[in-house]
Amino acid sequence: MQLPDIQQTCQQLTADLQSLLQQRGIDNPLMVGIRTGGVWVADILHSQMTLEEPLFSVDISFYRDDFERHGLHPQVKGSELPESIEDRHIVLVDDVIMSGRTVRAAINELFDYGRPASIILVSLFDIGRRELPIQPDLCGARLALAEGQLIKLSGPQPLTVSLL
């Protein structure tokens, strides 16, 4: 299976994001990447746009729903978010959306920092297999993988994708 070119996909995603923000009348969003891969993707999108504020990140380790099964992630990095996100428009970025559980955890965590005005979900790749009713607003590419197949992002420099 031919995987899409990451640089091109990111460029397209940036253009789509800019027009969505314009359409919704949002001029100063907070961009937040989900650790680790989401931060790499967000970093590219952030650098291609002119946003007033730096890139922020969420680490969902303390919010996962599989703690009972897998325990604590050994390398918790912590979230870097502004003190309050009250009434802010947030662009939440992840690298790959699958079950939707990571996004659920990230949104839960964001709400512990305040009540955002809105959240736009951006994902570089969507590989389906959803377990929760969560869909990205923008997606770089939808990939139809064979059963049991997964993709892996490596980064941050250079950001590459491979089939597992």
Partner 1 sequence: MTTDPNQIQLTADGKLKHFLTIEGLSKELLTEILDTADSFISTQERAVKKVPLLRGKTVVNLFFENSTRTRSTFELAATRLSADILNLDISRSATAKGETLMDTLWNLEAMYSDMFVVRHADSGAAHFIAEHVTPNVAIINAGDGRHAHPTQAMLDMLTIRRHKGAIEGKVVAIVGDILHSRVARSQIHALNALGAAEVRVVGPATLLPRDIEALGCKAYYDFNLALRDCDVVIMLRLQKERMQNALLPSESEFFKLYGLTTEKLALAKPDAIVMHPGPINRGVEIESAVADGPQSVILNQVSYGIAVRMAVMAMAMSGQQASQQAAQQADDDAQGEASA
- The answer to whether the bond into 116 is cis (omega within 30° of 0) is no
DSSP character for 25?
Answer: T
Q: Taking a C-beta distance cutoff of 8 angstroms, is the pair 151, 6 a contact? A: no
Site membership for partner 1, residue 79 (CB under 8 A): yes
The nearest distance, CB 69 to partner 1, in angstroms, is 7
Instruction: Mark residues 93-132: x for contact with partner 1 by CB under 8 A, - for none.
Output: ---------------x---xxx------------------
CA distance 15 to 18: 5
Nearer to partner 1, 89 or 104 (CB): 104
CA distance 154 to 139: 19
Among 30, 31, 38, 63, binds partner 1 (CB under 8 A): 63
Among 14, 57, 61, 102, binds partner 1 (CB under 8 A): 61
Query: By the 8 A CB rule, do 6 and 161 touch?
Result: yes
Q: Is 54 in the site for partner 1 (CB under 8 A)?
A: no
The phi, psi pair for 91, rounded to 5°, reads -105, 110
The residues binding partner 1 (CB under 8 A) are 59, 61-63, 67-69, 71-72, 74-80, 83-84, 108, 112-114
